[in-house]
Amino acid sequence: MIKIISLCLLLLINAFSVVYAANVKVAAVEFNPVAQDVEGNIRKIVAAVTAASENGARLMVLPEFSVTGFGFVPENPNDLDTIPGRATAAIEKVTQKFNSYVVVGMYERDTVTGVIHNAAALIGPKGLVGKYRKNQLPTGDYDVAAPGNLGFPVFDTEIGRIAILICFDDSRLQSLLIPSLRSADILAMPIGSDMMPKFEKMSNGNHSTISNIATLAQWTGMHVIASNQTGLLSIPAFGLVDQFTGGSTIWDNNGKQLSHSKVSTWTKPLPPETIYATIDTSKKSEQKTFWLKHRRPELYQVYNLYKAPVDPVANNTQNQISALLVQYEPINGNIEANAKKVDALIENNQNVFNLAVLPFNSFLGQVTLNQNNIHQFAESLNGKSYTLAANLAKKYRTYLLFSMPEVNDGKYFETAILFDFNGKQVGIYRKSHLNDSEQSWASAGNSLPVFNTNDLGRIAVMLNDEVRIPELTEVYALNRADLILIPAAYDAKQYGSEVNIPKGLVPDASNRGMNIWFDIAKYAQAFTLVSNYQHDTNKEFERSAVYALVPEEGYSPPNIAPNKEIAHQVMFTTHTNNTLWINQQSLVVGRRYDLATPLTLDMQSPCFKEWQTNSTSKELCKGE
């Protein structure tokens, strides 16, 4: 049955792998609009996309609000545009001439209702292809624009399937997952990322989308073209001059940074520039293939629930966490020797701690399990390894997370157990997303628990490569996890890569670590603690680490273990700073829960197939 389902998923993936022009030259066209000068902006946009087209670009992406500018409350209809409208008509002459595509942002006035939206249009060789209206609005946008009402369309073109998101849309992971699930090849992102001085109005509300999106192309499996404004821009409505960072970037669907513009600063503001890269839309994303094959939408139903502003599950207690991330080189298969080494590393720490996290299959080491040897290594609860781990928790008076291959009623599982400081089991998690190898011998767990503790807060677990399933991150956020613990056996080869944000956009201390672990902390708004084995290589991004809530802003950058065997200590306090641009409460309450249903559909269901096939429709299974 599993093989049949896997085959069906592969057929589904291949069904949308239409042959397009494989190598496509694309451009991020930086552009600084003048507020309320639509005609002048259009003339400059036409000149910019003409130049990029003459340089061979087939797809050009301009920043947010390029047509209209922003930072004003529209009173004159001429200060806005429509879609189709003046800008699309002018740009169409260029796209027809050069057989190209342009994505451009604006304040759009709906011609029927008069409602204003923060929108972007896609114009192609035959004219207007379609439009997208921004779904996730930050504070400030609500003074002018209404949230989007078109869903997440994906436009089928001769150069690939193109999705559009606008700036703050990136603040909710579901906004990126839905277009990718709808088989988008290319994500075009018009952006307006600023970096306000901390004495300025709104300084606690800024969010650097251009920095944030830098770590997401690989996880979501799309080519990303992100175009930002740059330099110093006047914002009359707020009575200030703001600094936009530039740093426009193009990534391929495996997360490789192909090109980026210079980063603008207060002391060295830079003019707009156009950057180019060639993407291969025929090249598959290994991460996306894995994700689509192994995701389990039946476990994600919490996506459809509205978590009201008063959420009884939410924990706001400030808990002081002092955790040990045990990183060691195991003797594979030697449980007693490995347990002794773990014990020695913990004992060597002389500081106070209240949590220890051990690597994946904590005392077994990196043994490749299969049908032939699982009976040799799997243990029952209360067996040897379980008892050794419980005794460690009791000995050091600490919470401890440990994992092992488990046998229970003739079935095998990959299992994690959380012990309290008395060595008592307070939580058990059986891996719910099995990789191909594990599916040959293991049974999957069928729940995603969050363990409530008085001492540490609410704790969730991801086991090893489950981090490749991004929905887990948001499910745990919606179920109000304060900590996500990840026992890992990560070799830095099969998935993930180092964080690689264009230099200058964030402090160097934040430009570190492994991109997926980095993103889990941000999108769950939960401190993420990873315990990995020690490896011979010196790759920093594969080491044990703690990732905090807004690392791309420079607050609480990743704390990464040194390259040695160690019980690496990390210390922090939960729920201490709600003045930053996002927190779990804002993340959960402000998301568009009404648009999340596709993430919870069976991918073999008629409803899902209809939604994916009719990829520009905002309706979901209207006929059912």
248-to-353, 501, 522 alpha-carbon distances in Å: 43, 11, 21
* Residue 525 DSSP one-character state: T
Burial class (CB in 10 A: 0-12, 13-18, 19+), 7: exposed
- Dig out the tokens for 110 from the structure: 């709906």
Gap between the Cα atoms of 305 and 308, Å rounded: 9
Helix (H) or strand (E) holding 362: none
What burial class does residue 44 get, using C-beta atoms within 10 Å of its C-beta: 0-12 exposed, 13-18 middle, 19+ buried? middle
Active site residue 200: no
Stated length of the chain: 624
Q: Is 517 helix (H, G, I), strand (E, B) or coil?
A: helix
- Is residue 256 part of the annotated active site? The answer reads no
Structural contact between residues 30 and 270, judged by C-beta atoms closer than 8 angstroms: no
CA 344 vs CA 172, 422, 567: distances in Å: 42, 19, 9
Asked if 147 and 592 count as a contact pair (C-beta separation under 8 A), the reply is: yes
**Of 25, 30, 64, 474, catalytic:** 64
Q: Is position 134 annotated as part of the catalytic site?
A: yes
Annotated catalytic residue, options 134, 288, 307, 431:
134
Whole-number Å distance between alpha carbons of 18 and 138: 36
Taking a C-beta distance cutoff of 8 angstroms, is the pair 192, 231 a contact? Answer: no
Q: Of 166, 247, 162, whose CA–CA distance to 210 is shortest?
A: 247
The pairing of beta strand 451-453 with beta strand 457-461? antiparallel
Which amino acid, residue 437?
A: S
Query: Which residues touch 554 (CB under 8 Å, ≥6 apart)?
Result: 506, 507, 509, 510
Element holding 489 (H helix, E strand)? none
Q: Is 515 exposed, middle or buried (0-12, 13-18, 19+ CB in 10 A)?
A: buried
Pairwise CA distance, residues 413 & 431, whole Å: 7
Copy the structure tokens of residue 412: 């095998």
- What residues are annotated to the active site? 64, 134, 167
